[in-house]
Structure 1
Amino acid sequence: MADSARAAKLAQRIKVIVAEGLRRRVKDPRVEGVTVTDARVTNDLQHATVYYTVLGDDTAQADAKVGLEKARGVLRQEVGKNVTVRLTPTLEFVADEIPVNAGHLEDLIRTAKARDAEVAAIAQGATFAGDADPYKKDDDGAEADDDGAQTQEK
């Protein structure tokens, strides 16, 4: 069983090898817009998950998924040539959800800013419901506590 630091190093190496392999060896036009974003390797170094994004619409993403599945053997062969592990890990390709999540977060931030602007507009002409200074003070400037004891104001 390998340690997680070695698995992380191997994952970064696999990420680079797969990206280079897509650029150099795979001639499928369906994978031209693919960007490898991350790779994860299990601690036993047997399985690698490669995360990718695709520029384009849903059909381009579906085509890229098919193209990557078709090129899996060539890319695994490239990984086997370029890493020094006893067994070449199997490759699994997963579409990265980071762009979708980032878009969702941007929508939430935009909504929060709009609500903040509404609250600021409402508060612009607002006045206090009671006194401007709700803390009761004696004539000598000391605040009165709930138990009646007086404290000196600083």
Structure 2
Amino acid sequence: MGRSYRTRKVADRIKEVVAQACEGKIKDPRLGFLTITDVRVTGDLQHASIFYTVFGDERARAETAAALESARGVLRTTIGREIGLRIVPTIEFFADALPESAAQLESVIAAAHRKDEKLQLMRSAAEFAGEADPYRKPHVKQLPTDEDEQTEQL
């Protein structure tokens, strides 16, 4: 079953509010280059799962995760003020696996391209095992010409 219109709107609004708060309101130096990729809200609007990606190495990801966990209360308060729901949803942060899966997919595609290039090199040096054109040619009868008639008379 798909998400309702209201849950989609609340999720989109939470995504905007959290992104703005991470840019301006949270002053934690551990917060790296963060992108909020998705927000999913339960049907009763009680819980919000926030998915994010961080540009950088594993250390930057761990520091950003710690910064988000420490700023969870501030972010929830900001969400409550900005959205104006009767009950502010609890929030939980999840590191999005999108960059890792994209990197894995790119490596698989690169390996396939290398195999294709190797196969192309092998094909360029290949020769036919038998004849170059193994198919029979249709025999076409030729009409006698004037020269053929002259040679027959001699």
Same-fold call, TM > 0.5? yes
Task: Determine the structure 1 residue equivalent to 2:16.
Answer: 16
Asked if 1:45 is matched to 2:40, the reply is no
Cα pair distance change 1:128/1:43, threshold 3 Å: farther
Counterpart residue number, 1:29: 29
Aligned-residue offset at 1:81: 1.1
CA separation of 1:135 and 1:42: change in aligned 2, threshold 3 A:
farther
Offset, 1:85: 2.9
**Counterparts of residues 1-154 of structure 1 (less than 5 Å):** 4-130=4-130, 132=132
Q: Which has the larger radius of gyration?
A: 2
For normalisation by structure 1, the TM-score amounts to 0.79
Q: Is the 8 A contact 2:32 2:61 kept in 1?
A: no
Runs of 4+ in structure 1 off by over 4 angstroms are: 130-140
Q: Deviations over 1:38-63 (max 9, x none)?
A: 21112221111111112222222111
* Equivalent pairs, count: 139
* Aligned mates of 2:41, 2:54 — CA distance in 1: 22
Change (3 A) 1:135 1:70: same
**Distance across 2 between alignment mates of 1:78 and 1:100:** 30
Partner Cα distance (2:36, 2:16) in 1: 8
Q: For 2:21, give the aligned amino acid.
A: G
Distance in 2 of aligned mates of 1:5 and 1:130: 67
Q: What amino acid does structure 2 have at the position aligned with 1:28?
A: D
Identity %, equivalent residues? 46
Unmatched runs of 5 consecutive residues or more in structure 1: 141-154
CA distance in 2, matches of 1:67, 1:17: 17
| Cα 1:86/1:120, change in 2 over 3 Å | same
TM superposition score normalised by structure 2: 0.79
Hey, what's the Cα distance between the residues in 1 that align with 2:75 and 2:136? Answer: 76
Change (3 A) 1:16 1:131: same
What CA distance in whole angstroms lies between the structure 2 residues aligned with 1:133 and 1:95?
A: 59
Shift, 1:83, TM fit: 1.4
State the superposition RMSD in angstroms: 2.2
